[in-house]
Amino acid sequence: MTDWTDPDTFAQALECVETKEKGNCFEDFEEGDVIEHDPGLTLTKFGNEQWMSQTLNHDPAYWRPDVAADRGFDEPPIHPDYLTAATLGITVEDLSEKGGYFLGRTDVRFAKDAVYPGTDMYVESEVVNTASSSSRPQYGIVSWRTRAKDLETDDLLLSYERTNMIPRREPLETDGGSAATEEESDDGSLPETFVTPDGGYFEDFVAALEAAESENAAVAYRHERGRTQDDVTVAQLPLATLNTAKQHHNVDVMADSPSGDIVTYGDVTRSTALGHARSDERTWREVGFDDESFHTFVTPGDTVYAFTRVLEADDEASSDEAGTVRFQHIAFNQDDTPVYSGTRIAEIRKRSN
Ligand SMILES: C/C(=C\C(=O)SCCNC(=O)CCNC(=O)[C@H](O)C(C)(C)COP(=O)(O)OP(=O)(O)OC[C@H]1O[C@@H](n2cnc3c(N)ncnc32)[C@H](O)[C@@H]1OP(=O)(O)O)C(=O)O
């Protein structure tokens, strides 16, 4: 009788059987397709606090009822980073579990009203673009518009457009030619002077921008904190958002991948960097993000730091107590290599008169 548990026999059996695969390939996506992502998720206080604590997002309005009330919230709301990560996490099983690279995300916009613990969220995505990759014929490039809604009221909570490289079932026939195109060449030089805002209020950003305007200068600075990636940030946080991407929790498979190891969920990397940045400002509300890119892998043991550039400031905001600032945030590792960049629009508290 065959002993299926004999190691040699079992190895042979593994070679012979089919794998019941998970996820979709590039060929499965067609422009206009709408995908409803089961199972949805209830946004809980525990999930919110676990995400915020592990990514160093300590804004008291998301922790303390008295500060929440002062900021116009009914109670400490769900943090926009957790909402973003949970929304993307739910989509992975249908969109990117096959193992594509997360290339970027843009037009991330939050509803005006805060989202509170206990909200049952459902998420759907529409395929907005499919394209060939000229540099990697074994992949295609897919963009989706994803929307998270309140299951009870159907109110839109968050929307964004995301782009991934997705493995093809059949690689494209190509000559393997390089996709290199001439990029516009700006001279790449940095300004002579870097201005650091004196504080974290709206007026401090305005003053720094004014100071920089008069010379060849930029308002740019780094944040001191770093967060070394461990089992909690790499594997636990994405799993807590139902993110099934093997990149984050299957060391066995990832050992043979370009990173050679499991990698940090992009939303953990960016939220950690944003936590560092927010610790040096008086955030009032998050408005949105654009042009987000993940430049290289973050693996266990890497440390995520943050760098901020202040791009512009506008007196208008949803409340008289705040103004609006546009930032560029760059997350980088212990070797000073950028791992994430994106622009962010946030309302920043004004000094009380
Ligand atoms: C969730 C989840 C996944 C994760 O969270 S994984 C963790 C976060 N992501 C990463 O760690 C990825 C780190 N990035 C990289 O390793 C490299 O950047 C990458 C993805 C391997 C690409 O490197 P390249 O140097 O090859 O990058 P290129 O700039 O040449 O781009 C390759 C092709 O993609 C096209 N492309 C890039 N960005 C965009 C975009 N935003 N929109 C549309 N297309 C884009 C680019 O034009 C190149 O096209 P070709 O035709 O020339 O191939 C999860 O999602 O499950």
Is the peptide bond between 39 and the residue preceding it cis, with omega within 30 degrees of 0?
A: yes
**Which residues of the chain, if any, have pLDDT below 70?**
174-188, 353
Predicted confidence at residue 176, as pLDDT, reads 45
What CA–CA distance (Å, rounded) separates 244 from 122?
17
Q: Hey, what amino acid is at 23?
A: G
The DSSP call for residue 234 is I
ipTM, two decimals: 0.94
Q: Which of 101, 163, 242 to mutate to test the pocket of ligand 1 (most atoms within 8 A of CB)?
A: 101
Q: Measuring from atom 33 of ligand 1, which residue has the nearest CA? A: 133
Ligand 1 nearest-atom number relative to CA 105: 41
Check: CB of residue 48 under 8 Å from CB of residue 79.
Answer: yes
Integer-rounded Cα Rg, in Å, for the chain is: 22
Give the binding-site residues of ligand 1, using a 6 Å CB cut-off: 88, 92, 96, 101-104, 133-136, 141, 163-165, 179, 243, 245, 247, 263, 265-266, 294-297
Q: Which CATH number fits domain 22-174+193-349: 3.40.50.720, 3.20.20.140, 3.40.309.10, 3.10.129.10?
A: 3.10.129.10
How much is the pTM?
0.89
> Hey, which residues does 197 pair with through a beta bridge?
none
d(CA 305, ligand 1 centre) in Å: 21
Say how many Å lie between the CA of residue 36 and the centre of ligand 1: 25
CA-129 nearest atom, ligand 1: 43
Instruction: Report the pLDDT value the prediction gives residue 182, as an integer from 0 to 100.
Output: 35
What pLDDT was estimated at residue 174?
A: 63
The two three-digit tokens of residue 10, written as one number: 């079992």
